[in-house]
Amino acid sequence: MNTDVVIIGAGATGLFVALDLSLRGAHVVVLDRQGIARGTSGRFHGLLHSGARYAVGDRKAAEECVAESALISRMAKHAVFDSGSYFVAFTGDDDAYIDSFRTALKKANINSEEATVSNLLQREPKINKDAYCAIAVPDKVIDPFRFLASVAYMAKNKGAMFHLHSEATEISKSGIVKTDDGLELTGKVVINSAGPWAGEVASLFGNELDLMPTIGLMLVYSPRLVNVVVNHLRPPSDGDIVLPFYNTNILGTTAQVVEDINKIMVNDEDLQDLIYEGSKMIPDLRKMEYARSYYSARPLFEGSNPREVSRDFEIVDNDPFVTILGGKLTTCRLIAEKVSDLVSKKLGLDATCSTKRIQLEDVLLHSGPFSGTVGEEVYNLGANFSALERDISS
């Protein structure tokens, strides 16, 4: 089977690349060894970043999040929830960092407002009474499944083809991709959008990538204790965010470097450390049983400290093999635009990006096989998401 582009990975970035290139007139086939949003895109904590968390140490990523979160909020209103978000400092926190945070927000053009702590505690009595500073920022909560199902559905309607639950096993220098179920695709361009598994896919082409396998652990609490996003106003660290996701709260997250992201063991010490740090914001977390835990794998570049590695992205071009490194769900549309610009030049396409102007349709009801993901409590086992995958699959 011949096509213009083979995309490996049906997460947020891969799906937006498929949509962007299809809108430009390219013939696209998407492969994924699992299905839509079954990797990192369905296993993060659910925050649509305003950029505030990165403002101090990663300004470029922060500025990208500012613009892209506004675009996603407009195009996917059915999947984005504005519950309110606050960065809160507590007794013992660093006043110098708080001042740096305020300055960085202004430099990155992130809207913020000094909140009255007493009013916030009255609204959210479970927040630690030691709070003495609260800054409101435009973070929001996003349902990745409702969002990305809509992207996949539109891409399919614009001509993209999907071959899910199919793993790439060989990639030749001439763009031939073979899968474990016998499919052979010949693409003018092959795009590696496998996220933290990009190194494994690149090795099939003969490339070695400097990735740092890193996981983030999260805990789910039900019923929820707070109705707004609470961020600890301190340098990025473990257990510094609690957010509402439907009827639950999600506490996140850790940044643990592992040898093999396909063989991960979560130990009790990591869980207890996460609870200890989270309880500095919400003391009741220490005495309340969590409903379950889950983790995600991050697509980080090689570095000495996972907390200091940029959340920006990089595009590596080894014609005809293009690899996407880094990035976040919040910036998936932007990454796809840059990748699609590059691929369009290779294909001789004159059309430019139009995904800034799209309006996505809500195509997913609350049902589907989501065990171990951010939405497990919401999405009961059922047929609708699986039906969507069958509908878009070729």
Q: What angle do CA 252, 136, 102 make, to 5 degrees?
A: 95
Which residues, at least 6 apart from 92, have a Cβ–Cβ distance to it below 8 Å?
A: 130
CATH class of 2-41+144-210+310-392: alpha beta
Q: Given this model, what pLDDT does residue 307 score? A: 46
pLDDT recorded at residue 100: 98
Helix (H, G, I), strand (E, B) or coil at 349: coil
The type of residue at 168 is A
Tens of each residue's pLDDT in the chain, 394 residues: 899 999 999 999 999 999 999 999 999 999 999 889 988 998 899 999 999 999 999 999 999 999 999 999 999 999 999 999 999 999 999 999 999 999 999 999 999 999 999 999 999 999 999 999 999 999 999 999 999 999 999 999 999 999 999 999 999 999 999 999 999 999 999 999 999 899 899 999 998 887 777 888 999 999 999 999 999 999 999 999 999 999 999 998 887 777 777 777 778 888 999 999 999 999 999 999 999 999 888 776 654 444 444 556 889 999 999 999 888 899 999 999 999 999 999 999 999 999 999 999 988 765 566 777 777 777 664 556 777 787 788 6
| Angstrom distance (rounded) from CA 17 to CA 5 | 10
Q: What pLDDT does residue 54 have?
A: 93
Q: Where in the chain are the domains?
A: 2-41+144-210+310-392
The residues, ordered by sequence, that sit 6+ positions from 348 with a Cβ below 8 Å of its Cβ are none
pLDDT at 230: 98
DSSP conformation class of 65: H
- What pLDDT is stored for residue 255 in this prediction? 79
Q: Given this model, what pLDDT does residue 384 score? A: 65
Stated length of the chain = 394
Q: How far apart are CA 333 and CA 357, in angstroms?
A: 11
Helix (H) or strand (E) holding 189: strand 184-192
Contacts of 209 (CB under 8 A, 6+ apart): 198, 199, 202, 316, 323, 325
> pTM score, two decimals?
0.92
The per-residue pLDDT for 311 is 52
Extract the tokens encoding 62: 């922060």
What pLDDT score was predicted for residue 367?
Answer: 59
Q: What is the largest CA-CA distance in the chain?
A: 64
Q: What is the DSSP string of 264-281?
A: ----HHHHHHHHHHHTTT
